[in-house]
Amino acid sequence: MPSNTSARDESGDGIPRWAATAGRHTVWQRLAATGARLFCSATNPNEEAEPSWRVRQHVLRDYHATNVAAARTVSEELVRAGFNTGDVPYGYRAQRVRVTPEGRRPRWRTRLLIEPVEASTVRMIFLWRGEDRLSTTEIGRRLAASRYPAPLDPETGEPGVWTVAMVRAILRNPKYLGRQVWGRTHHGKPTPRTDWVWSQVWVHPPLVTADEFAAADRRSWPIPSSARTTDDSANALPPDQRRAA
């Protein structure tokens, strides 16, 4: 289920629309509204001059860079506060919460709640991969044959069809550790994991432990020490659902 509060990218990460956009006015209109005058005639200071194309591009580039930096700061603050950005991961449902930052108007944010049937499926995927060492292709075949509920199609809202890409995306999503993560890609390309932004504490029920997550990912990447925990405390499912066939 996609969040309607963020702009989506290929990794499922996002930034708030209200933070990523500066309104419906152009940069020139916004500058004029504040009384700013960037250009004037060299012979007559009171006469405005039309800026060249190169100057316009330079100003717009700097303006865009400032907005992107501000949007990134806002996104990092949201993630560290434990709010979800981007699409809701399979195994969870969105819970809309209303927050009122000090000195600002109320806003809606998204936290994650467990969807029990899908959460059981997520745990089975990690167990098949980490303990049974099955390939993602074989996992997808088992899921389809056993009629495990597939992720919903983001466009139609109807159940989709299990694919290897879906299985791989679940196995690589660190949000199943119970923490929010942002910044996994930049312009559609993967970023170094050391540059990812993590929430400081658990902000939603984890579906797997750090050891289970690492065992399922053969690339063996480091997990922040604060994300590691014991099997019992990290398991958010009832015992009878932990290994449903």
- List per-residue pLDDT tens for the chain, 245 residues long: 444 444 444 445 555 554 445 455 666 666 666 665 555 555 555 555 566 777 777 777 877 777 777 777 777 888 888 899 888 999 999 999 998 877 778 889 999 999 999 999 999 999 999 999 999 999 999 999 988 999 988 788 888 899 999 999 999 999 999 999 988 887 788 888 888 889 978 899 999 999 999 999 765 455 555 555 444 434 444 334 344 43
Distance between CA atoms of residues 217 and 28, nearest Å: 49
Q: Report in angstroms the alpha-carbon separations of 2 from 24, 93, 120, 227.
A: 24, 10, 21, 25
- Strand partners for 181: 198
* pLDDT score at 238: 37
* pLDDT score at 226: 53
DSSP string covering 4-57: TTEEE-TTS-EEEHHHH---SS-HHHHHHHTT------SS-TTS--PPPHHHHH
Long-range contacts of the stretch 161-165 (C-beta < 8 A, 24+): 164/136, 164/137, 164/140
78 three-state secondary structure: helix
**Cβ atoms < 10 Å from Cβ of 206:** 22
Q: Is the dihedral of CA 120, 123, 129, 135 positive or negative?
A: positive
Name the nearest CA neighbour of 86 among 183, 186, 212: 183
* pLDDT score at 154: 77
pLDDT digits (tens, 9 = 90+) for 201-223: 889 999 999 999 999 976 545 55
pTM: 0.65
Domains observed in the chain: 6-112 (no CATH), 115-241 (3.90.1750)
DSSP string covering 97-146: EEE--TTS--EEEEEEEE-HHHHHHHHHHHHHHHTS---HHHHHHHHHHT
* pLDDT score at 4: 42
Q: Tell me the pairing of strands 185-186 and 189-190.
A: antiparallel
* pLDDT score at 236: 41
Both structure tokens of 8: 């989506």
Distance between CA atoms of residues 239 and 245, nearest Å: 13
* pLDDT score at 41: 52
